[in-house]
Amino acid sequence: MTTTPKGKVWFVGAGPGDPELITLKGQKLLAQAGAVLFAGSLVDRAATLYAPAGCVIRDSKDMTLEQMTDWLIEQAAAHGTVVRLQTGDPALYGALIEMARPLSAAGIEWAVVPGVSSAMASMAAAGESMTLPEVTQTVILTRVEGRTPMPPGEDLATLAAHRTTLCIFLSITLMYKVEAALRAAGWPEDAPMLVVHKASWPGEERIVRGTLADIKARCREAGIASQAMIVASPTLGALHWETLARSKLYDPAFTHRFRKASA
């Protein structure tokens, strides 16, 4: 017997871990969901507390991609709102397109609700800024090569040569590769480094600061071996610098369409 899909699947970014960092739209969708598939290995289960009583809730950590898409299609035939709850933002290091293609093929409507990335949450936790005037205006979100190869021209050493802010995902167990790439790109041994474990997770967040020379040892001492963001940036530690280049937007001598220069 063939069923006609009637529901819509929403790929919702759960954010970095703190259930209060999910967007209001994401929370509302969870509150009306008939079924929720959440990434239990990464998403704090507290995020599913927004789901209503009677909602079908399934942890995807033991499922293959095919099993997940089959489940979503099955639930979309029975519920008007189905949520796939993913860590961070669904479009970043997730299987969004791989899951969406079978849904489209089955004639099921789907949409994406963005979420707060762990890159942003890590900088927020450490009180750091990704960009600073005349220091860097560019942020690179990347990872080092592991079982998933990097495309040509995207090896970390090549990207690090730009000397901008690097937010390095999925690489804490490959810190030796991170160090080697930064050194190959000419970063000095005293270049500041930041590692944040489980950014925003209540009671579990840990922040480790160091330099290129010692960050690996500091992480080892802290026992950090998973779910960590690595940041290398010329902006790190700017709060304590003696001088900073001033932002032109807020400079009294700068005119823009909302304010005339006062000096």
1-10: pLDDT as tens digits: 455 547 999 9
Which amino acid type is present at position 213?
Answer: A
How far from the centroid of its chain's Cα atoms is residue 142's Cα? Answer: 11
Are 221 and 132 part of one and the same domain?
yes
Which amino acid type is present at position 80?
Answer: G
Domain of 154 in residue numbering reads as 118-240
Q: How many C-alpha atoms does 230 have within 13 Å on its Cβ side?
A: 26
Do 39 and 140 meet the contact criterion of CB atoms below 8 Å apart?
no
In a domain, residue 170? The reply is: yes
pTM over 0.75: yes
At 100, list the tokens.
């969406």
Nearest-CA neighbor of 86 among 95, 74, 78, 97?
Answer: 95
- The alpha carbons of the chain give a radius of gyration, in whole angstroms, of 21
**CA separation for the pair 172, 134 (Å, rounded):** 30
Q: pLDDT 10s per residue in the chain (263 long)?
A: 455 547 999 999 999 999 999 999 999 999 999 999 998 877 877 778 899 999 999 999 999 999 999 999 999 999 999 999 999 999 999 899 999 999 999 999 999 999 999 999 999 999 999 999 999 999 999 999 888 889 999 999 999 999 999 999 999 999 999 999 999 999 999 999 999 999 999 999 999 999 999 999 999 999 999 999 999 999 999 999 999 888 766 767 666 666 676 76
In a domain, residue 2? The reply is: no
Are 124 and 108 part of one and the same domain?
no
Are 59 and 139 part of one and the same domain?
no
In a domain, residue 186? The reply is: yes
How many Cβ atoms are within 10 Å of 67's Cβ, its own excluded? 12
